[in-house]
């Protein structure tokens, strides 16, 4: 499975990793193409977990609709490796779609089907 990521989104995801807590947000696009990444406040302000601000998330869904885009996934940062935690996997069950994890070392994408699958991310 492959998702296409705009260069602008890729560059943004590389830029957000220099923080002492996890940063997070939503991905806008169409189908398997990610065109925009929106940052949402992490109300946990934690170095090991995130929770999207409900109010900012609602506004982001409205913004996506106004732009005629879909919310195709979630992005967040890890301070170490870009692999899903147990909490991330639980989140994938509640919010299906593409999950991108950005760390200082790498950016990786995942989807949850019967199990967590890593997906190829192609920069466009």
Number of Cβ within 10 Å of residue 71's Cβ equals: 18
Residue 106: active-site member? no
d(CA 62, CA 56): 10
- Residue 12 has, within 13 A of its CA and on its CB side, a CA count of 19
Q: Which of 22, 39, 56, 66 is catalytic?
A: 22
Q: Which residue has the tokens 């997070």?
A: 24
Spatial distance between the Cα atoms of 105 and 39, rounded to a whole number of angstroms: 20
Residues with active-site annotation = 22
């Amino acid at each position: 499975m492959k998702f296409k990521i705009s260069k602008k989104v890729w560059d943004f995801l590389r830029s957000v990793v220099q923080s002492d807590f996890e940063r997070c947000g939503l991905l806008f696009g169409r189908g398997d193409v990610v065109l925009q990444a929106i940052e949402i406040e992490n109300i946990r302000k934690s170095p090991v977990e995130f929770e999207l601000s409900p109010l900012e998330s609602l506004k982001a869904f409205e913004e996506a609709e106004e732009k005629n885009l879909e919310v195709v996934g979630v992005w967040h940062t890890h301070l170490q490796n870009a692999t899903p935690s147990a909490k991330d996997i639980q989140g994938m069950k509640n919010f299906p779609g593409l999950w991108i994890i950005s760390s200082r070392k790498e950016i990786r994408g995942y989807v949850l089907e019967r199990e967590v699958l890593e997906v190829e991310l192609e920069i466009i």
